[in-house]
Amino acid sequence: MRADSLPLRPIILCVLALVAGGCPPPAEGPPTAAEAERFLSEAEQTLLERSNEEARTGWVQATFITQDTDILYAQANERYIGAAVDLAKRSTRYAGLELAEDQKRKLERLRLSLSLPAPDDAELRGELTRIAAGMDSAYGRGEYCTAEGECRDLGELSRVMASSRDPEELREAWTGWRTISHPMRPQYERFTELANQGARELGFDDLGAMWRSQYDMPPDELTAETERLWQQVRPLYEQLHCYVRGRLGDVYGEEAVPQDGPIPAHLLGNMWAQSWGNIYDLVAAPGDAQGVDLTTLLERAGVDSRGIVRYGEQFFTSLGFPPLPETFWERSQFDQPQDHDAVCHASAWNIDSEDDIRIKMCIQINAEDFNVVHHELGHNIYQRAYNQQPFLFRDGANGAFHEAVGDAVALSVTPEYLVQIGLLDEAPPAAGDLGLLLQQALDKVAFLPFGLLVDKWRWNVFSGETPPEEYNAGWWELRQRYQGVTPPVARSEADFDPGAKYHVPANTSYTRYFLAHILQYQFHRALCAAAGRQGPLHRCSVYADATAGERLQEMLAVGASRPWPDALEAITGTREMDASAILDYFAPLATWLEEQNCARQCGW
């Protein structure tokens, strides 16, 4: 099992007992509570055993991409999907029985356990899993090659996007990466047909409705809930967008960056314009203190990739969590392999659903990956905290909780924290806070609309509202409407720009990331209150606070055994997701942005 940062693979696995001589015959007569209890007990044991097989083949495929590992993982995934569908359908026999609450919850989780349901037909199931594995590998292998034969992978192109200030070079890197997704377009159309068929066989309208049903509420209510939360934060985002557009207009000229329209996506420092922190030097106010340069501090201290992970481990042990097991250090991938292809996208794995936890990254010595490591270890700590739960409850309260835990911890990476761990001699004065907040907003606030729209696009695709002949147009309509960005060159339906984002070909739901950006601030505010921290929320670090650690542990240990509002209440005291904590955190910046934008025309 893995948790992606961007990307959590399905945790719940079940297997057709073909290798053991075939499935037992269907039960005869009316179902009973005792039969349901036996069914769940036997299913959980099988799931625990078979999940290890899928996780191990998935790990090898992700860290050593070859045709053979692709095939092995596709075969394991096919067994997993076919079995999961079979078990989910068999579980419906017990719907409506008077059962204990935990048994009813387990049955519902079986029904909702798949992110990729496949049709019953074995041939179609095999086709679906081959398409899924093929798109995943195509992304991992992706390179842009010039006419002169110079090839660059995503890591190299991303460094161009982050550091170059030449619009032509940025445009080439932006368009070049999107050549890798052209071949995915017909595959994704067929993928959608097959996945929707599998979802309908389980009783859902389409795959998007199935995904939305995983949040302890009806699908339409989740759609409304995400829009409600977006409306809470939209004014802050629009002020940030307005300010950044103005500053980029000063740098590149208003002809290149019109001051009444969307921002060209290639100028925002990130391949997908989902975070803008890499252009801080361009948009910082003249003379503004830039806060702490963590990248320079790490380089000055001679920290390597393993050292960055040690800092992350130290944070959690300071809260009272046990050290990472030795197998973590022996089996994780910290650096990009030099002699074979591997997926560098950061993810956290629990191979055996117990203590074989690992991370997979290609760590760069910079501030971004310092925070990403804290995030990924948050997944691992969560995985280990709930490993005493029954197998079907070994998961986050919902997908967003898994993402939010690590990010909430990363919010404690403050100047005060850097002083405590010896990377910084003294924290800068509060006069530098606006620079610090702007840096964070360029990543956190800028991400919010992108986090929302990736799944909105897929929900529309899965429902048929966006047909295949409008895939790319639908993508850019949402990106302009929510993000206020536009492509740097004309796009057409010959392109498949959604496929240039990992989570689309990897079939990983993205709503969890949007919700995690809401929840992480709720968690952070609650943990700071538990620790008795005073002062601005953005200056709070709960490093080395046992009370905050106990509060966090209480929530993590629940796993998925109860509906997520119960877990939310355990840590925050409220049962409703609320974006006001983001507004509290960035309140000083919001006031400053409004002052800067008073003479600007905001909106697009």
Which residues belong to the active site? 345-346, 375-376, 379, 403, 503, 513
Q: Are 405 and 523 spatial neighbours (Cβ–Cβ below 8 Å)?
A: yes
Burial of 36 from C-beta contacts in 10 A (0-12 / 13-18 / 19+): buried
Q: Are 531 and 548 spatial neighbours (Cβ–Cβ below 8 Å)?
A: yes
- Cα separation, 323 vs 448, in Å, equals 33
Helix axes 219-252, 511-530, angle to 10 degrees: 90
- Cα separation, 364 vs 366, in Å, equals 6
Q: Count the Cβ atoms, other than its own, within 10 Å of residue 310.
A: 14
* Alpha-helical regions (H) of 421-563: 433-463, 471-478, 511-530, 546-558
CA distances from 13 to 6, 46, 74, 160, 264 (A): 21, 9, 15, 40, 42
Radius of gyration of the chain (CA): 24
Bridge partners (DSSP) of residue 371 are none
- Cα separation, 518 vs 577, in Å, equals 7
- Cα separation, 547 vs 533, in Å, equals 11
Provide the token pair at 409: 């911890």
- DSSP class per residue in 384-416: HHTTTS-GGG-S-SSHHHHHHHHHHHHTT--HH
Cα atoms in the Cβ-side hemisphere of radius 13 Å centred on 200 = 10
Q: Strand 263-264 vs strand 347-350: parallel, antiparallel, or unpaired?
A: unpaired
Q: Strand 485-486 vs strand 263-264: parallel, antiparallel, or unpaired?
A: parallel
- Cα separation, 548 vs 525, in Å, equals 11
- Cα separation, 239 vs 429, in Å, equals 26
Closest by alpha carbon to 316, among 374, 401, 388, 400? 374
Question: Alpha-carbon dihedral of residues 262, 265, 267, 268, nearest 10 degrees?
Answer: 90
Task: Check residue 126 and give left, alpha or beta (phi > 0: left; psi -120 to 50: alpha).
Answer: alpha
| Phi (first) and psi of residue 42, to 5 degrees | -70, -40
